[in-house]
Structure 1
Amino acid sequence: MPERIYNFSAGPSTLPEEVLAQAAKDIVNFNNKGMGLIEMSHRSKDFIAVADECEANLRELMKIPANYKVLFLQGGASTQFAMIPMNLLGEGKSATYLNTGVWAKKAIKEAKLFGKVQVAYTSEESTFNHVPKDSDYTVDPASEYLYFVTNNTIYGTQFPAMPKCEKMLIADMSSDILSREFDITPFGIVYAGAQKNMGPAGVTVVIIREDLLDRSPENLPTMFKYKTHADNGSMFNTPPCFSIYVVGLVLKWLKKLGGVAAMEKINKEKAALLYNAIDSSDFYRGHAQPGSRSNMNITFNLPTPELEAQFIKEAAALGMDGLKGHRSVGGCRASIYNAFPKAGVEALVAFMKEFEKKNS
């Protein structure tokens, strides 16, 4: 195998090397059983232990109270765009949404199929280069919940603090879950696709307050009811076993690092290195406004699209892959999730300085 590169991809994204090494072994021979983890029955004692340990470690790391259920579901985070309003809205019910990017827009579109939706704030006119402050919008008193996306991968924005309002919060945390500490108790639902900051694609973690399980309409299909999965320990049907297992390994790795608080400190340091390089130069220009900058996805532009293409090509030749920005924004994007090493950020910053010298 060649030397590992620095993977700046927005997702699926880089995983800890020790996790990959352990997973590679366990695909072939798990717990010395003579068969691989991906061959094992999800009803077996060994896999149930894997799932239980994964849930226990997530509860510990995120300080999840006992009155919340942890579900391991399929269908990606995009399925949650519909499942949430399917279970919590209905005739005569409404919800408030904050439109801060592509994934929020998709969630709004789905929610409108099941109830009334008030879009209390949108930053679309400024190409989603910022997130709102609490004072920038009003939550409809009739709303069942306030929905928002904590971190916007495409535009490189992130809520610096969770919104405060009297209504229940619901959040898509697919791209910054476990990257910083927060209080989960104001939330009714927190969910995240694993493939950005928790593990491989295939599993979506849903953390839901228990009292919400009985809110779903009677005519809702069985598989789309949260209660179905909660009552069956996420095993009403065959779960994404391998993905759950790898998430469990990532959680063990995170615990060894010192938990979410330690990870938050590291993430801030990594992001500061890159933002300092952008801010100290007229050659690079950040997309996100300073007060809304993400510590996970850092978006920036160069003077011309031609220089951006050259930058991405030369960086890839040096082992820095995945730096091309999303087509809706262009430019460059460096995704530096929990598992992304600080050395990779330092390498990128050094390359940025050299590239500017040669091309300015």
Structure 2
Amino acid sequence: MKRALNFNAGPAALPEAVLAKAEKEMMNYQGSGMGVMELSHRSKEFEEINQLTKNLLRNLLTIPDEYEILFLQGGASLQFSMIPMNLLEEGSTASYVLTGTWSEKALKEAQKVGNAVIAASSKNANYRSIPNPSEIDVSAESSYLHITTNNTIFGTQWHTLPEDLAIPLVADMSSDILSRPLNLSSYGLIYAGAQKNLGPSGVTVVIIHKDLLKRSRSGLPSMLNYQVHADSQSLYNTPPTLSIYLLMLVLQWAEELGGVKQLELLSKQKSALLYDAIDRSEGFYTGHAEKGSRSRMNVTFTLENDSVASSFLHEAEEYGFIGLAGHRSVGGCRASIYNAVPLENVEKLADFMNRFRSRN
């Protein structure tokens, strides 16, 4: 079967080895006579899946014991509300750095809960860069500082994090988690929708320092309370069992590949191929992001005009490339090169870009 050259921004490509293993176990998981989606979430088989998935994630990201791992639902978008509901202390403020659409949405939801303010923003420059950490204006009295580490629409990524904060750092890592090593001690909470680097849509990973769990107010609805989910090992209600199982398979694949350091090396190789094609094009392709803020996950670029861009996308689709149209906020093209996108597929795209330029 011919596979698409998948560069979708999300839901995104999954490793072929993961899909093959899931297909093999679809009808009969571990001799149970049932598929994972048919198992009771209270069964021994699923409890083992749940625990193994947490262990794999803890090992791959070197997550210290003082952090709790939660598997939740509602995507990163629900976290935009859950974070201030649980962490924004009465009489305090929450600080947000705006670097794109998703951080704007996070701020908007937080303002529905309490006092949330902008600590820094690159909106005036159409989000072409990440603010310098020295530009961030955050009060020591804030409950937390929120950032979005990678911006899928604009193709920017944090490469230097705010340091020596007196308050917890909260990060939306939906589109670059597991693509580079993390120093978890720099964060109070990180969260990620799975559908880019971790697995399929349906499960959201939250990694939270246990001290922050104490902020969760008892008056919150149970499904929106981090402490409730932590106390029940993410099994308070029926979890997205199939998504967690596929997350487990992706983490096993990552471990077998060589872990996060190998994934980081591959992400550097893949992004370098595309940025090289852009930079050597003598202006035929123009990258949206400033060089110091370029994302290794989402490469955004424009062409001379809409007509040329349309021709590029049409020809690319004929060659089997999927998902290269840019977001309307930027236009042009976007190649999302998450962990599961093979290096050889990116090599093919870079070659196509060079050949298209030479013909046009």
TM-score of the superposed pair, with normalisation by structure 1: 0.98
Counting only pairs closer than 5 Å after superposition, residues 17-166 of structure 1 correspond to structure 2 as 17-166=16-165
Q: Distance in 1 between matches of 2:113 and 2:92?
A: 9
| Structure 1 residue 32: Cα displacement | 2.1
Q: Does 1:297 align with 2:304?
A: no
Which whole-Å deviations, capped at 9, do the CAs of 1:171-190 have from their partners, x for residues lacking one? 00000000001201121110
- Show structure 2 runs of 5+ residues with no match: none
- Show structure 1 runs of 5+ residues with no match: none
For 1:168, the equivalent position in structure 2 comes to 168
Q: Does 1:333 align with 2:341?
A: no
Q: Does 1:262 align with 2:262?
A: yes
Deviates more, 1:157-166 or 1:194-203: 157-166
The amino acid that maps onto 1:209 is: H
Answer whether contact 1:101 1:155 (CA < 8 A) is retained. yes
| Structure 1 residue 19: Cα displacement | 0.1
- RMSD, aligned CA: 0.9
Q: Does 1:248 align with 2:265?
A: no
The amino acid that maps onto 2:209 is: R
Answer whether contact 1:91 1:114 (CA < 8 A) is retained. no
For 2:315, the equivalent position in structure 1 comes to 314
Q: Distance in 1 between matches of 2:198 and 2:307?
A: 35
Answer whether contact 1:278 1:284 (CA < 8 A) is retained. yes
Q: Distance in 2 between matches of 1:168 and 1:226?
A: 16
SS of alignment partner, residue 34 of structure 1: coil
Q: Distance in 1 between matches of 2:132 and 2:60?
A: 27
Deviates more, 1:31-40 or 1:46-55: 31-40
Q: Distance in 2 between matches of 1:209 and 1:349?
A: 41
SS of alignment partner, residue 82 of structure 1: helix
For 1:188, the equivalent position in structure 2 comes to 188
For 1:346, the equivalent position in structure 2 comes to 347
The amino acid that maps onto 1:114 is: V
For 1:276, the equivalent position in structure 2 comes to 276
Q: Distance in 1 between matches of 2:359 and 2:116?
A: 51
Answer whether contact 1:61 1:260 (CA < 8 A) is retained. yes
The amino acid that maps onto 1:222 is: S
Which whole-Å deviations, capped at 9, do the CAs of 1:280-315 have from their partners, x for residues lacking one? 112000000000000000000010111111111110
Q: Distance in 1 between matches of 2:164 and 2:141?
A: 13
Answer whether contact 1:77 1:174 (CA < 8 A) is retained. yes
The amino acid that maps onto 1:294 is: S
Q: Distance in 2 between matches of 1:209 and 1:221?
A: 21
For 1:200, the equivalent position in structure 2 comes to 200
The amino acid that maps onto 1:290 is: K
The amino acid that maps onto 1:358 is: R
Q: Distance in 1 between matches of 2:273 and 2:358?
A: 19
Answer whether contact 1:153 1:297 (CA < 8 A) is retained. yes
SS of alignment partner, residue 26 of structure 2: helix
Q: Distance in 2 between matches of 1:119 and 1:68?
A: 27
Which whole-Å deviations, capped at 9, do the CAs of 1:196-225 have from their partners, x for residues lacking one? 000000000000111111212232111110
Answer whether contact 2:89 2:215 (CA < 8 A) is retained. no
SS of alignment partner, residue 70 of structure 1: strand
SS of alignment partner, residue 206 of structure 2: strand
Answer whether contact 1:192 1:204 (CA < 8 A) is retained. yes
SS of alignment partner, residue 188 of structure 2: strand
Q: Distance in 1 between matches of 2:159 and 2:182?
A: 11
| Structure 1 residue 91: Cα displacement | 3.2
Q: Distance in 2 between matches of 1:211 and 1:348?
A: 46
Q: Distance in 2 between matches of 1:105 and 1:345?
A: 30
| Alignment length (residue pairs) | 358
Deviates more, 1:148-157 or 1:256-265: 256-265
The amino acid that maps onto 1:205 is: V
For 2:178, the equivalent position in structure 1 comes to 178
